[in-house]
Structure 1
Amino acid sequence: MFSIRSLSLLLLTLALCACAPKTMTANPEQPYPLPREPQLGQIVHLPTGVLVDEARMQAIAGDARIVYVGETHDNPASHRQQVALLRALAERHPGKIALGMEMFVPSQQPILDRWSAGKLSEKEFLKESRWYETWRMDFDYYRELLELARDLRIPLIGLNAEKSLVAAVRAKPTAELTEAEQRQVPEMDLDDPYQKAMTEAILGDHGKHGAIPADGFHRVQTLWDETMAASVVRYLSDPDHADHRLMVVAGGNHVRYGFGIPRRVFRRLPTSYVLVGSTEIVVPADKKDRLMNVKKPKFPMVPYDFLLFTEYEDLGKQEVKLGVMLGEGEDGVVVEGVMPASVGETAGLQKDDRILAIDGEPVAENFDLIYEVKRKKPGDRSTLKIRRGEEELDVPVEFVLPPAGDPHGGMPKK
């Protein structure tokens, strides 16, 4: 027979069991899944699973001191999100918002300042910043964002590590760097377990394209994040910027989940921030090869506060090419080779021709020709002034689309 005491213990045990929490099986990256498939243009607040409109997301982001925007570099939809958000932040905090960008480094700051002040043309800006050599993405992806910053006089901040330092850190551990290199290296936390896991996953995909030392790859990823974090803090810690806000634009892997730039900023300067990003839910067949084949680890946190569902889009332009190999020396820009069946061959360009001008614009270096050609569309006609031997000639050129798969254009010879 049960005693009263035994019965009481049994009832207590049953009560405790009934109240014990059930094992949760939800995905921590999306703790509140959407009830139906997401639609293009929808924005979800991932911590709650609540859909919001763009204005609501912008208003909430505007409350934070730092807004991190993770981008897909070659998706125009991702860049439109940046433009709309920067415009909203500028309206909310007029004269007190800056734009920090992964695409630039601190040594370019004087150039960025002149651009924001409206003192450089687009051509001057691209030439002085060496855009096509340093970032290499088509400027069309970033034109609208950078024009907005210029038109609204929003300061641009170069965040990233100098390429010479990146090369040194990739090649050898910090302790083996020269004293000058070590002085450039920010405080480095190489022990973040989540970044390590992501780095290993990314390296698994990159490894298909050639051997990349794992330790060097991890050091560089950390250097990028730590340098950008230090740059963010340097700007916001300046007494002149005590009441300023910052929007940070960087590739998704530097922002997503918060363990890249955001956590490293917070370690230095605890302040409020919001993570904003996008994901492609529609990927055309011809874009599938752009996606990294990364088996991503499962992380115990949401990737962003706000996530926009997009399509993987094209720039919507047809790129023409001159189809010549260019050399640059004391004699200026010289044709070192002409591709078969190219626009240049059709126009009659020959090896050793020196290109003096295009449509009246002087060509003093490769960039001058590259910039003008990139502005052309199929069907456009131009005139090249060239020197062939002792003779100057005007050469008419008609730009047409290159054959499918043709990789050649009016680019410097490697």
Structure 2
Amino acid sequence: MRYSFALSCRLTLLACLSLMAAALPAQADICPAPGEWYQPGGERLDSTALFGELAERDVVLLGEQHDRMDHHRWQLHTLAGLHAQRPDMVIGLEMLPREAQPALDAWVAGELDEAEFLAASNWRSAWGFDPALYLPILHFARLHRVPLKAINVTPELRGRLAGEGWEAVPDAERFGISPPAEALPAYRERLAEVYAQHPGAGDEVGLERFVAAQLVWDRAMAAGLAEATAEGALAVGLIGQGHLQYEHGVPHQLDDLGLEAHATLLPWAVEEECVAPPAGLAHAVFALAATPAEALPPMQLGVYIVPHEDGIEVHGILDGSVAERAGLEEGDIILRAAGEALGRPADLTRLVQRQPPGTLLPLEVRRNGEEREILARFPPRTGE
């Protein structure tokens, strides 16, 4: 998400001067060079000075596109640099809800192997993205005994808070998370654009619920990071970049919690056509070379789905999608896929993404009280 918004400087004068001193002369119209740090707006940064300045923060936020391996490699290397400056580090993970904290503690302590950790944390259902993307970071934390902290909440709790309101959910059931600050106008505008792209996007009431759910998400992660700093540790959050850009999302909620000594770092892809990172995007960006050998994207069913007590419910279908061709309809309840019972949307996402091209995925569906089998036919890759 690249959109312009003026970023107000929330740093102390000393921190601002420190970053200015770290800037090296560069022409704003020169493409960022892979392997270099930049201040959005054009200035190249000296990495030693930058990391020295970051070490004085309470929170550092590392953005990502969840399915990009190069983003996770960059996160790992950045974590190593920060750890060299601040060994008293805690790594906050968007990927897991607070219920997974015992599994994270056991992993860092060396009590679980990979398979046991993935099962104990309920990783595949909670997150849905391939754990191989994150395992190098998890092993880094384990090797250095860096605490890992689950900073998310379950979709069920997010839905309750967004739908029923904060007063309807007891403090203990929401882990002491306080109500969020209102969305900044530019953030709300961006969320409205995202909502409009969802299949089955509804009226203003639906938009308000969508914005409320996003704010719950942001506030939960900000609160988790704030808790991680309680004993003076540097909290480093691994979070989707849409929650971080332009100081919206999580940074805005950190400010509201009184934790203003934070900095957002983002990866920036250097493409053939030069696009420099816009001013205010983040505290600093790291230029990554384009990766032409990216893995082929996983299969997609083309549905908008939400949890249902008996499985998952179809709320929208993309035109021309596998779901549309298979005959799925809005309101269908998908009970099983490939014989596996579905407890939450991530279960179906995982099965679909593992589906080989050119194959069939049997779906057991309830429609108007009657159960039927629908075969989702995934097309072969182009050229196969």
Matched with 1:72 is 65
Deviation at residue 235 of structure 1 after TM alignment: 2.1
Q: Which residue of 1 aligns with 2:241?
A: 252
Q: Verify: 1:210 aligned to 2:204, yes or no.
A: no
**How much has 1:218 moved relative to structure 2?**
0.4
1:108 match = 100
> What is the TM-score normalised by the length of structure 1?
0.60
Q: What's 2:40 paired with?
A: 46
What is the CA–CA distance in structure 1 between the aligned matches of 2:5 and 2:192, rounded to whole Å?
Answer: 22
Residue 126 (str. 1) matches residue 126 (str. 2): no
Q: Which residue of 2 aligns with 1:280?
A: 269
Whether contact under 8 Å (1:100, 1:157) holds in the other structure is: yes
Matches within 5 A, 1:215-294: 215-237=208-230, 241-242=231-232, 244-282=233-271
Q: 2:305 — aligned with what? A: none
1:135 and 2:127 correspond: yes
Identity of aligned residues (%): 22
Which whole-Å CA distance do the structure 1 matches of 2:175 and 2:68 have between them?
36
What is the match of residue 324 of structure 2? none
Output the CA distance in 2 between the equivalents of 1:50 and 1:129: 41
Offset at residue 39 of structure 1 (A) = 3.7
1:304 to 259, 262, 282: 282
- The answer as to whether partners of 1:66 and 1:246 remain within 8 angstroms in 2 is yes
TM-score, normalised relative to structure 2: 0.65
Larger Cα Rg: Structure 1 or Structure 2?
1
Residues 1:233 and 1:182: Cα distance change in structure 2 (over 3 Å): closer
* 8 Å contact kept, 1:100–1:156: yes
Deviation of 1:52 (Å) = 2.7
Aligned position for 1:148: 140
Correspondence list, 1:338-353, <5 A? none
Q: Secondary structure at 2:218's aligned position in 1?
A: helix
Q: How big is the shift at 1:271?
A: 4.3
CA contact (8 A) 1:100 1:248 kept: yes
1:45 maps to amino acid: Q
Q: How far has the Cα of 1:130 moved from its partner? A: 1.0
User: Which fold has the larger relative contact order, with Cα–Cα distance below 8 Å and residues 6 or more apart in sequence?
Assistant: 2
What is the aligned length? 291
State the Cα distance separating 1:265 from its structure 2 match: 1.5
**Cα deviation, residue 61, structure 1:** 2.3
- Residue 309 of structure 1 deviates from its aligned partner by 2.8
Q: Deviations over 1:330-380 (max 9, x none)?
A: xxxxxxxxxxxxxxxxxxxxxxxx9xxxxxxxxxxxx9xx99xx8xxxxxx
Deviation at 1:172, TM superposition (A): 4.0
Query: What RMSD over aligned residues (CA atoms) do the two structures have, in Å?
Result: 4.0
Alpha-carbon distance between aligned partners in 2 of 1:160 and 1:246, rounded to the nearest angstrom:
15
2: CA distance between counterparts of 1:74 and 1:306?
Answer: 22
Q: Check 1:254–1:283 CA distance in 2 against 1; reply closer, same or farther (3 A cut).
A: farther
Q: How big is the shift at 1:69?
A: 0.9
What residue identity is the alignment partner of 2:34?
L
User: Could you list the runs of 5+ residues in structure 2 that have no partner in the other structure?
Assistant: 8-25, 300-338, 340-346, 363-372, 375-384
| CA drift at 1:247 | 0.7
Does the 8 A contact of 1:172 with 1:216 survive in 2? no
